[in-house]
Amino acid sequence: MFSRRSFVGSAGVVAAAATASAVSKVAMAALPEPVIQIKPDTMPPLAPSTGRPYNPVVTLNGWTLPWRMNNGVKEFHLVAEPVVREMAPGFKAHLWGYNGQSPGPTIEVVEGDRVRIFVTNKLGELTSVHWHGQRLPNGMDGVTGLTQPGIPPGKTFVYEFVARRPGTFMYHPHADEMVQMAMGMMGFWVTHPKDKHPLIEEVDRDFCFLLASYDIDPGSATPKIMTMLDFNLWSWNSRIFPGIDPLVVRHMDKVRIRVGNLTMTNHPIHLHGHEFLITGTDGGPTPKSTRQYEVTADVAVGQMRQLDFLADEEGDWAFHCHKSHHTMNAMGHNVPTMIGVDHRDVARQITRLIPDYMVMGERGMKDMTEMEMPLPDNTAPMMAGQGPFGAVGMGGMFSVVKVRKDQKPGDYRDPGWYQHPPGTVAYEFTGSLPDPARFKAESAGAMPPVTRPAQDVEVKVRKPSAGHAGH
Ligand SMILES: [Cu+2]
C-alpha cells in the first residue's frame, strides 16, 4: 500500500496514488495506480515504511517511485509516455519518459526483494524495459524480439524477478533502439543490501543521476534522434546547468554519488575539494584492493559508477563533467571561433542593415554569458548560471556540492552561497608588475637557436563552422 507517503498536496503531483484507506481489496487485485510527477524538483528521499529498512537515495531533480506490498511482493507501475521536461528554467523539451518525467522515477528495493513491475505503454509504438545489471530469468530481461515480444501501444506487461544482488543499476528500453533512449527513456534503480555488507559502507547522503545527451536545435523542443555524435545538450537527469539542483550535504557527512551513463560518449565526472573512492559499479561493490583515491571518475558508455567521499571541507565545490564541451548548452555549438578577430568595422556596416546583429566572442566566449542575447523562444542560453562573484560561464553537466556545518541531518534545501571566512578568497594583486624573466633569457637554452626567419610568422586558426563531431 502507498501508506508511507501520500503525495497529495506535494507540488507537481497530478495523479496521486490512492491512499492506504482508499485501496480496496478489489483494487489490490488489480494493478497499482500509476503515480505521476511533473515538477522537475528534487524530491526528498522516500523512506520505506514497508519491507526492510534502508537509507533511501535522493534523485537529482527527480523522485523515487512508491510501491505497494502485495502478498510479500513489491509492486511498481511504470507508464511509458511522451512527457514535457523542463531541462532548465525557460527551456522545455518534448521527450519520452515514464510517469510524467524523463528520466523516469528511481526504483529502490532491497536485496532479496520479490519485485513485480507493471509496464503500461502509452507511446505510439512498441516498447520494453530492460533491467540493466540485474540477475534475473532470461525472459524478464526486456529485449524486444529476443526475450519477449514488444509491449504494443495501449498494453501492459508484467516483469517479475528477485532483486538478487545489491548495487547501482538502471532501466531503459530495448525497443526501437536508436529512438527511445535518444528521446529520454531511462531511469535509475538501486538495490540496497539486506544486511550490513562488508563492501558497502553506510552513508549519510546518497545521490543518483543518469547522464543523457540530446540534440535539440535552438528554438525547437524535440530531440533529433538521428544524431550519433554531435549532441548539443549534455544533461544530468535531463536537466542542464543552471537547472541542476546542488548536492547539499552536512559537513563531515559520508556521501555517495551514483552515476550511470546512457549517452554515446564517456564522461569524466570531476569533484572539487575532496577525494573519492569508486566503491561500486553496475557489476556490484568493488573489491577494496581495487580502490584508490581519485578526483575524476570516467564513466564510459553504458557504465555506472558509485563514488564515496567524506565531505570534510566546507564550501561550494564545483562538480562537473571534465569535457569542456559538456559544460555548455546548445548555443555554443557550430559557431566559428572569433578570438582575436577584430570585426568592429564589419559589424558597424552590418548593423546598418540588420539592427540586431551581434558579434560573438572576440575576446573569448565568456562575454556571451553577460550579454542579453536575443534568443529564439524556448532556448537554453549557451552558458549561464549566476554565482556570488558573477557569471559562472558554464552549462550542461555542471552542479555544485554544497558542504555546510549548519545543514541539519536530512535537510536537502539549498543553503545559499558559501560565506567565505575573511582572507580565504583569491584576491587582486595591486603592486607593480616586474618584467617577465623569460624575455631576458630568450637566447639561452640547451642549444643555440637556428637562424630565425626575418619576420615572425603569424598563424591564424579558425575553426570550421560546419561539423562539430566527435566530442
Ligand atoms: Cu561529459
Contacts of 17 (CB under 8 A, 6+ apart): 2, 6, 7, 32, 33, 34, 35, 66
Q: For residues 207 and 166, what is the distance between their CA atoms, to the nearest angstrom? A: 16
For residues 226 and 389, the model is more confident at 389
3-class DSSP state of 271: strand
For residues 110 and 337, the model is more confident at 110
Percentage of the chain lying above the pLDDT 90 cut = 62
CA of 377 to the centre of ligand 1 (A): 26
Q: Is the pTM of this model over 0.85?
A: no
The CA-based dihedral angle spanning residues 278, 281, 287, 291, taken in that order and rounded to the nearest 10 degrees: -20
CA of 306 to the centre of ligand 1 (A): 17
CA of 99 to the centre of ligand 1 (A): 27
Q: For residues 469 and 471, what is the distance between their CA atoms, to the nearest angstrom? A: 6
CA of 305 to the centre of ligand 1 (A): 14
Q: For residues 217 and 376, what is the distance between their CA atoms, to the nearest angstrom? A: 10
Q: Which residue has the cell 540530446?
A: 214
Span 73-89, average pLDDT: 95
CA of 322 to the centre of ligand 1 (A): 6
Span 4-19, average pLDDT: 38
Peptide bond between residue 242 and the one before it cis (omega within 30 degrees of 0) = yes
Using the predicted structure, report yes or no on whether residue 58 has a pLDDT greater than 70.
yes
Confidence of residue 20 (pLDDT cuts 50, 70, 90): very low
CA of 18 to the centre of ligand 1 (A): 40
Confidence of residue 28 (pLDDT cuts 50, 70, 90): very low
CA of 268 to the centre of ligand 1 (A): 6
- pLDDT at residue 34 in the model: 86
CA of 324 to the centre of ligand 1 (A): 8
Using the predicted structure, report yes or no on whether residue 131 has a pLDDT greater than 70.
yes
**Cα distances (angstroms) measured from residue 186 to each of 267, 351, 368:** 17, 46, 33
Q: For residues 175 and 295, what is the distance between their CA atoms, to the nearest angstrom? A: 36
- pLDDT at residue 12 in the model: 39
Using the predicted structure, report yes or no on whether residue 369 has a pLDDT greater than 90.
no
CA of 224 to the centre of ligand 1 (A): 19
- pLDDT at residue 27 in the model: 45
CA of 230 to the centre of ligand 1 (A): 13
- pLDDT at residue 44 in the model: 92
CA of 464 to the centre of ligand 1 (A): 22
CA of 234 to the centre of ligand 1 (A): 7
Confidence of residue 467 (pLDDT cuts 50, 70, 90): very low
- pLDDT at residue 4 in the model: 37
Span 195-205, average pLDDT: 96
- pLDDT at residue 328 in the model: 81
CA of 115 to the centre of ligand 1 (A): 33
Confidence of residue 32 (pLDDT cuts 50, 70, 90): confident
CA of 320 to the centre of ligand 1 (A): 8
- pLDDT at residue 93 in the model: 94
